[in-house]
A and B are shown apart, each in its own frame.
Chain A
Amino acid sequence: MFKKVKRFFYNLPISIKMTLITILVGTMIWLVLNHIQTAQFTSLFQERLQDRFSKNAEEDRYRFDQSVKALHRAAKLLSEFSPLVHYIEQDMSNKKSVNTIVHRRPPVWLPSMSVLRDMVPIRYSLLVDSGLNVREIFKTTRQPLPDVLLKPTPYMLELSNDQTYLTLIDGIPFLVASKTISIENKSGDNFYLILVTPIDSSFLIYTQGGAERGNIIALLDGQDQHVLTSSKPEIISTGMSANNIREAYLVTDTAFFDYGAADLLIRFVSMTPTDDLKALENTFILRGIVAAIAFIIPFLLIMYWITHRIQGLNKRINVFIENMNLHLFFNSQGDELNKLENRFVALSEEIIEETKLLEHQALHDSLTKLPNRSLFNDRFDIALKDAKREGHEMSVMILDLDKFKEINDILGHHIGDEVLKEVSIRFAKTLRATDTVARFGGDEFAILLTNSNREQTERVAKKLVEVIRTPIETDGHKLDVGTSIGIAMFPEHTKDKQSLLQFADRAMYDAKRGRTGYKFYDPETTGISHISSI
């Protein structure tokens, strides 16, 4: 299965292959980068968002804090409000009734609603006598005053005097601010003004200047981390766990307030819905995909351009092979690049072979495959140098076939050629690998015996004469061919290359004339009869 897939992939066009690789690798890189970047981005984005929102959160806190503090400032201010002082001094001090009077409109001892409204949303204003009886209540709500506030304690008065006292009543945080009313009466009894307001959603919305602001604020119980109240109860409801909030909202900041007297620790939380964050994350991912596509498209265009050129090159090579009439064998499987590589390898091997053949043809006789005169001369030069350097002896033989002309004339050139081939084989078999036998042309051969003294040379000469003397059978003919060998010795006869060849050549004529088979050059006798006959 794997092999099939591998083969399938191997044979796919390079353009498709690269496209697949680009998409695959690109997707993998994108996924990894996206994972890292998204994590980093989310973290960074949250940090930035928190930076941005922390300023809003500061403002939220500032507004809330000012509203909370405004209650005790209001208590301070209203306790010195002259109609109140006058009312206590003139009316209240003399009334012994303990029945609590409830007002739904501002009573005479308070300023008008428009003034009260601009202080802080006071839900309950209580007039309390020295016996801690609530004599009068002005309430701006239909909700009844919590029972616990109908019986204020000295403890509550102390804690709420000159500061805002935060207390939890029936699960709702309440702000209480009290002040002793400055009056002059004969009895010396004190009267107190107590202002009360619950910190509910209405209060939070009021502190933030309206519910339309994007931020949501909530008060959490600092201990069990549950929502006490929020500015958007339809979203963040009372009793909701802090963990649930953190899942759905980005908590931009939290802080404790310290109002000096508090029955509960309230953690003020500013938050923003994470929908925006998620939307921004999606935008980021979308941008990433667009960026990836933008990256892939130019890459594919480049790949197309490259593969197009490779395909063009393949075609040109094919045309070249056809024009050159080459019969190349190469693996035609794989993509364009594999094909190009295979063609290149086959073509280069072909060129190497051709070059070797040409080189061989230049240095060898095409009929007998023996070295030609040119190669013989090269080897002769080298052998002569070696012999001179090493102080060795060497010999040169010139050979001519006897009766060859007759065979050629009578039986034809093709028989002559067969004779020449057979003679060449016999010469080569007789000689050592270090020796050289060359065909100079026609029936003339030359042999170079390196590191060979006269005695050794003579032994070789006899063998050569002997092997050629054995009849040659070809095309139904049994032919007797002999050979005449002229031999010149280095350095005995001369040290000069040309002279050695000349001496061997002359000796060959002497051998032919004397039918002696072989003849060593003799400076005294060789060539004399020949010269005289000329």
Chain B
Amino acid sequence: MNHSILALITFLLIMPGTTVLAEHGGDIEFTDPKLIFSMPKGWADKPVKYEEGTKADVVISLDQQSYVALKDKILTYAEKTNTRIVVKEGTCGFSRSHLEKKTIDIGGFCCSPGHSDRLPDLKFHTLGIASVALIVHPDNELKNVTFQQARDLFNGNIETWSQLGLKNPYPVVPVVRLHCKKRAGHWRLLLPNEDRFSIYVHDVGVIPDMISKVAKEKNAIGFETLLMAKEYKTKGNVKPITIDGIAPEDTDALIRTAYPIYRTYGITTWTGKNKNPHAEKLVRYLLDTADDMREYHFVSHKKLRAAGWEFFGNELVGEPEVIRKMQ
């Protein structure tokens, strides 16, 4: 046993109350749209000013997932409407940062907004949702799990594949990407916070590594959207499994909340004096044509509204008559 491990153990022993309590980082599925994040004085008066050298009618920053799904669509729109649009690729955090700096008109998010994303004068528009698939190695004989089993696979209650009745006696290797911890939805619909995940999880930092790790490790199980699994198929093949017999491709099941894990895709616009008519038109276009993204197994906001999902303005803020009981 080396010196550093001994030191760590000593530290843990002297630390009282070492039990780390599971705590929610906020609401699980959605945050309260009425709670606006407090910003310093004068911030609200600051106008949107693009980064140096940017000449555009609209500047938009998209997260990695929305970028793949929307980029071409936005550029086609720009060409058709003769609008100068600059599309930046980024992350949810980066979109938020741009919004906070007021260097963009539209921010794109692949997570339901967290409290700190709700900046003053910022309006969220949900485009739709898409399933987050549980993915395993293609050789894994596992085809289906119950939602409880899915949770147990990641929280460590299920340690070997044989516990699921499979012939494989080897340990489960849960692979996670615990990103955007303070935003609602996504992996938090599986387990509400990072403390609920097993001590043995492999926490990867980027999407391609999730695909790669599951594709290479026969005993791995991970989660990612089908869109990203397809986008990073060069990293390896992964097999989506069903949850309670429902495939992640089954959008109807997702609409009726029978499929439990999903991402919420949203974009923002400014209200007040930073309102940009070009951005408003683009967002209206994206909302109107949200049904076009079926190829990504995407459920549009229109279908969600029709199925009774709860909206606050254009923002999705609640599931229809479903109360998740997280353990």
Contact = CB atoms under 8 A, between A and B. Distances in A.
Given A118-B5, A264-B97, 8 more contacts: A114-B4, A153-B40, A255-B205, A257-B91, A258-B63, A260-B93, A262-B91, A262-B93
Q: Lowest 9 A-B CB distances belong to which pairs?
A: A65-B205, A258-B91, A255-B206, A262-B93, A118-B4, A260-B180, A265-B94, A114-B7, A115-B11
Nearest to A260: B180
Contacts of B183: 260
A262 B181 CA distance: 13
B263 interface: no
Q: Which of A54, A154, A256: most chain B Cβ within 10 A?
A: A256
A64 interface: yes
A417 interface: no
Contacts of B181: 162-163, 260
B280 interface: no
Interface residues of A, number: 44
Contacts of B10: 115
Interface string B202-228: 111111110011000000000000000
Interface in B31-48: 37-40
A263 B91 CA distance: 11
Contact of B3 (A69, A114, A223): A114
Contacts of B64: 256, 258
Contact of B182 (A69, A80, A114, A162): A162
Interface in A139-172: 153-155, 158-159, 161-163, 166
Contacts of A257: 91, 205-206
A258 to B, nearest CB: 4
A254 B60 CA distance: 22
Interface in A237-284: 253, 255-265, 268
Contacts of A261: 93, 96-97, 116, 182
B94 A264 contact: yes
B16 A82 contact: yes
Contact of A155 (B40, B205, B206): B40
A81 interface: yes
B92 A258 contact: yes
A118 B97 CA distance: 31
A65 B15 contact: no
A115 B3 CA distance: 10
A159 B204 CA distance: 21
Contacts of A13: none
A258 B209 contact: no
Contact of A163 (B63, B182, B202, B209): B182
Interface of B: 3-5, 7-8, 10-11, 14-17, 20, 25, 37-40, 51, 63-64, 88-94, 96-97, 100-101, 114-116, 179-183, 202-209, 212-213, 235
Given A255-B206, A255-B209, A256-B90, A82 B15 contact: yes
Contacts of B39: 155
Contacts of B207: 255
Contacts of B25: 162
Nearest to B51: A223
Given A115-B8, A259-B93, A159 B205 contact: no
A223 B88 contact: yes
A255 B208 contact: yes
B273 to A, nearest CB: 21
6 contacts: A82-B16, A162-B25, A257-B91, A259-B93, A264-B97, A265-B90
Interface of A: 54, 58, 61-62, 64-66, 68-69, 76-77, 80-82, 111-112, 114-115, 117-118, 153-155, 158-159, 161-163, 166, 222-223, 253, 255-265, 268
B89 A222 contact: yes
A84 to B, nearest CB: 10
Given A118-B4, A155-B40, A265-B94, A260 B212 contact: no
B113 to A, nearest CB: 12
B7 A112 contact: yes
A39 B181 CA distance: 45
Given A80-B15, A82-B14, A54 B97 contact: no
A61 B209 contact: yes
A124 to B, nearest CB: 20
Given A114-B4, A154-B38, A222 B209 contact: no
Q: Which of A76, A159, A260, A265: most chain B Cβ within 10 A?
A: A260
Contact of A256 (B15, B91, B100): B91
A64 B204 CA distance: 10
B116 A158 contact: yes
Contact of B209 (A62, A69, A111): A62
B151 to A, nearest CB: 21
Nearest to A86: B16
Nearest to B5: A118
Contact of B179 (A64, A255, A259): A259
Contacts of B180: 258, 260
B116 A159 contact: yes
Nearest to B20: A76
A58 B212 contact: yes
Contacts of B7: 112, 114-115, 118
Nearest to B39: A155
A155 B38 CA distance: 8
B54 to A, nearest CB: 10
B93 A54 contact: no
Given A117-B4, A260-B180, A58 B209 contact: yes
Contacts of A155: 39-40, 100
A256 B3 contact: no
A396 B184 CA distance: 131
Contacts of A117: 4
B92 A68 contact: no
Given A114-B7, A163-B181, A65 B96 contact: no
